[in-house]
Structure 1
Amino acid sequence: MKLTIAILAGLLVASMASAEEDPQQAIPAKLKVMFERPDKPLDVAPVVVQADWAIVGWRQDGRGGRALMKKTHQGWNIYLCSGDSLKNAATLEKLGLSVNDAAGLTGKLKDAEAGLDPSALALLSSFEGTAMMMEASTGAGGDHEGHAQ
């Protein structure tokens, strides 16, 4: 009996760890904890990932947009929210992403959004302007943990 409990506990911990590590599960889960309300469900799709960066579409209560997210030692965090500007590789490069990461993200985003219905795409595009979410110290330039060296 103890062995069975130990095996089940091990499987539970392993499944929780893999869910946290899989950005396709971890990112929507984090956003839902932060923003979803019982009367305002949050739809998170698509989620595209390139290295430590992700672009995520979100829709809630008749509104929507895209979020640029960055993986740090604390997990996935929202770097900024915007609309169509996140579909542009040059914009991502200006934010500090490498040429490869910017091109990879925008290419994956184009493919992922090709399957969305027009009303969902319109909501993703409806976010006006840009809202910065992360402090510069944890932003595109890295975690900056070694400044004192």
Structure 2
Amino acid sequence: MKKIIAIVAGVLLASMASADDDPQQAIPARLKVMFERPDKPLDIAPVVVQADWAIVGWRQDGRGGRALMKKSHHGWSIYLCSGDSLKDARTLETIGLSADDAAGLAAKLKDAEAGLDSSALALFSSFEGTVMMNEASNGAGHAGHEGHAQ
């Protein structure tokens, strides 16, 4: 049994290492490891990236929202979780993104969400307020937020 677990762990680590280069794979994989449960699958879409920043939409167990992600030398981590405020370039600038990155990210998000159904958009919008994350918590700070972790 230990050998099987070691093999599976090795395969998972190898696949995650190759996925680290592609944010379209690395970001959903990271979030699923942190939040997905067998009885509560996590849907991550869309994923839009501008430089070292990304915004992702998430849905799980009838809830949803958006997460602002930041890439560092440790990979992608959650910077904050919110709702519609992450669609606004001025808000993104206030958070700390450059004007170019904020405008690019907001435009990409608008384009990506244009093809989604209204129920997905309603879930993204339903996230109330903003939950700041820090790298030390690595997502643990989000665990207490009823909107997602339960």
Q: Same fold (TM over 0.5)?
A: yes
Residue 40 of structure 1: SS of its match in structure 2?
coil
Q: 1:35 to 1:92 in 2, by over 3 A?
A: same
Deviation at 1:135, TM superposition (A): 5.5
Give the alignment's TM-score, normalised by structure 1: 0.79
Aligned to 1:117: 117
CA contact (8 A) 2:87 2:109 kept: yes
**Identity in percent:** 84
Distance in structure 1 (CA, Å) of the matches to 2:82 and 2:32: 18
Aligned to 1:20: 20
Aligned to 1:53: 53
Q: How does 1:22-41 map to 2 (within 5 A)?
A: 22-41=22-41
Segments ≥4 residues shifted beyond 2 Å: 15-18
Distance in structure 1 (CA, Å) of the matches to 2:95 and 2:128: 18
Aligned CA RMSD, in angstroms, stands at: 1.7
Post-superposition Cα deviations, 1:76-124, rounded to whole Å, max 9, x if no partner, equal: 0000000000000000000110000000000000000000000011001
Aligned to 2:10: none
Aligned to 1:71: 71
Deviation at 1:56, TM superposition (A): 0.4
Q: Please state if 1:83 is matched with 2:83.
A: yes
Distance in structure 2 (CA, Å) of the matches to 1:74 and 1:67: 18
Distance in structure 1 (CA, Å) of the matches to 2:17 and 2:100: 28
Deviation at 1:20, TM superposition (A): 1.3
Post-superposition Cα deviations, 1:124-148, rounded to whole Å, max 9, x if no partner, equal: 1100000001259xxxxxxxxxxxx
Give the number of aligned pairs.
124
Give the alignment's TM-score, normalised by structure 2: 0.79
